[in-house]
Amino acid sequence: MGGCMSDSQDTTDRNVEREIEKDKKQDTRAHKLLLLGAGGSGKSTFFKQLKAIHGEGHNDREKEGFKRQIHGQVVESIQLLIRQCKTVTKDPLPGIKDEDDEPFGNDDLDDARLSNSLKVEMTETEIAQFKIAKEFDQSCQYLLEIHGSRSALTEQLVTHVKSLWNECPAIQAMFEHRNKIGIPDSSAFFFNDIERIGRSDYTPDHKDIVLARYRTTGMTEKEFHIKDAVFKVLDVGGQRNERKKWIHFFDGVTAVLFVVSLTCYDEVPFEDVTDLAADVTLMNSMLESIKVFEDTLDFECFQKTGFILFFNKADLMQEKIKRVPITNAFPNYKGPQEFKPSVDYISKYFLSLNRVPEREMLLRFFFEYVLFVNYW
């Protein structure tokens, strides 16, 4: 009997070894692509687009997760807009005080990143534009008392968000400073469509999923079959506290996909969000992307690895450049305040950071709803 058990165990061991060998061979045939970039660059959006176009799409469980993320983004964004308005105008948050009668005393509302004091020196006229009228006190109080950014959008919550967004000039005025206070551009899309996304039968469509913003933590891996090739894409978090984990995924990389947001040259990184007086020429997400890209190029294991630079949000850049010059991040730029020459300068600047001439560097431009195209 003992011999039978031994034979059975040997057979099991051999089967396991064969499966391991099979997995190793399959893994060597797959092209391992590492998706990197600074926080807020749009890496996860890129990953979602890959899955929608070259994967099996998003199943019902994943769509339910995106629904929660979208609802959370709406709640977090409107709460932040209210807090910033109340703090700048030095009004206490309605109904929420601590023992010293100071705003932000409630721990559930005191997010370390989002509710830093915004005490800035402004004229009375400048302050007045952020003054929320008394008629909106009930909506402000209701929204600020919601605990947790994953709250579902109830009918009452939708009513209050719609009222503040559509009828309160102070909220709109503060939203114009979203680049300094950490509010995603796409929040306006969800605010404008609040009734649809607040319905009980709401299911996110492709555009909703692409526009949903959240911070990636850890690592997400997905295999894609494109024609006869197999690509294994690894998406890792881009925030500063996530980057120390990157090195664990560097082995056997075929190419690095590095994503840069073209619109981030006047946006404060979320780790540095402080106040409306932040100097975006000293700290902005484009400078952060440049630093991260330089550091990534310098890794010894990437000296012979090809890089594909994806410049994201090109369509949004076409509009932004009309209002905001790239000199916030590139003070030496002397060209016209136009899309093509500005983007041409940015792309050449990034390419100039490569100190290894034989390393292949490709450029691609990523529009909001098109996966990747070469713009020129």
Which tokens hold the place of 120? Answer: 């800035």
What's the rounded Cα separation, in Å, for the pair 226 and 222? 13
Q: Which CATH superfamily is domain 60-210 in?
A: GI Alpha 1, domain 2-like (1.10.400.10)
pLDDT in tens, 146-158: 876 567 899 999 9
What are the structural domain ranges in the chain? 29-58+216-373, 60-210
Nearest to 88 by CA among 178, 165, 188, 174: 174
* Cα–Cα nearest to 34, from 196, 281, 192, 245: 245
Q: Which residue has the higher pLDDT, 8 or 117?
A: 8
Task: Cite the beta strand spans of the chain per DSSP E.
Answer: 31-36, 219-226, 229-236, 255-261, 306-312, 361-367, 370-373
Would the annotation count 312 as a binding residue? yes
Provide the CB-side half-sphere exposure for 295 (13 A, CA). 14
208 φ, ψ (degrees, to nearest 5)? -60, -45
Tell me if 235 is assigned to a ligand binding site: yes
Strand, coil or helix: 183: coil
Q: Is 238 annotated as a binding residue?
A: yes
pLDDT (0 to 100) of residue 271? 67
Q: Above 90 in pLDDT, residue 325?
A: yes
What's the pLDDT band for 372 if we cut at 50, 70, 90?
very low
Label residue 218 left, alpha or beta by phi (over 0 means left) and psi (-120 to 50 means alpha). left
Is the pLDDT at 369 greater than 50? The verdict is no
Given a contact cutoff of 8 angstroms between Cβ atoms, the answer to whether 86 and 103 are in contact is yes
Angle between helices 339-352 and 285-298 (to 10 degrees): 30
Closest by CA to 146, choosing from 95, 84, 189, is 95
Asked whether residue 19 carries a pLDDT value surpassing 60, the answer given is no
Find out whether 188 is annotated in a ligand binding site: no
Q: Which of 56, 43, 80 is nearest to 178 (CA)?
A: 80
pLDDT of residue 157: 95
Residue 13 assigned to a binding site:
no
- Beta-bridge partner residues of 232: 32, 223
What are the structure tokens assigned to 330, written together?
């590139």
Residue 236 assigned ligand-binding role: yes
Is the dihedral angle over the CA atoms 93, 95, 96, 99 positive or is it negative? positive
What pLDDT shows up at residue 275?
A: 62
pLDDT at 172 over 90: yes
Q: Mean pLDDT check: name the lowest of 27-31, 193-197, 352-356.
A: 27-31
Tell me: is residue 198 an annotated ligand-binding position. no
User: What is the average pLDDT across 22-38?
Assistant: 68
Is the pLDDT confidence value at 101 over 50? no
* 40 has binding-site annotation: no
Domain 29-58+216-373 grouped into CATH 3.40.50.300: yes
Does 107 appear as a known binding residue?
A: no
216 marked as part of a ligand binding site: yes
Main-chain dihedrals φ then ψ at residue 316, nearest 5 degrees: -70, -35
Q: Is 315 annotated as a binding residue?
A: yes
Cα–Cα nearest to 248, from 258, 234, 262? 234
Q: Determine whether the annotation assigns residue 314 to a binding site.
A: yes
